[in-house]
Amino acid sequence: MAEHKYLNAKNAAVVHNASKQRFEIDIGGQLSMLEYTFKNHRLFLTHTEVPPALESRGLMMELAHAALEYARQNELTVVAVCPFVQEYVNSHPEYQSFVITSVA
Average pLDDT across the chain, whole number: 89
pTM: 0.86
Q: What pLDDT score was predicted for residue 103?
A: 56
Per-residue model confidence as pLDDT tens digits over 32-77: 999 999 999 999 999 999 999 998 899 999 999 999 999 999 999 9
Task: State whether residue 49 is helix, strand or coil.
Answer: strand
Per-residue model confidence as pLDDT tens digits over 2-33: 445 544 435 578 999 999 999 999 998 999 99
Residues 44, 42, 96: CA angle, nearest 5 degrees = 80
* Cα(86)–Cα(80) distance, integer angstroms: 6
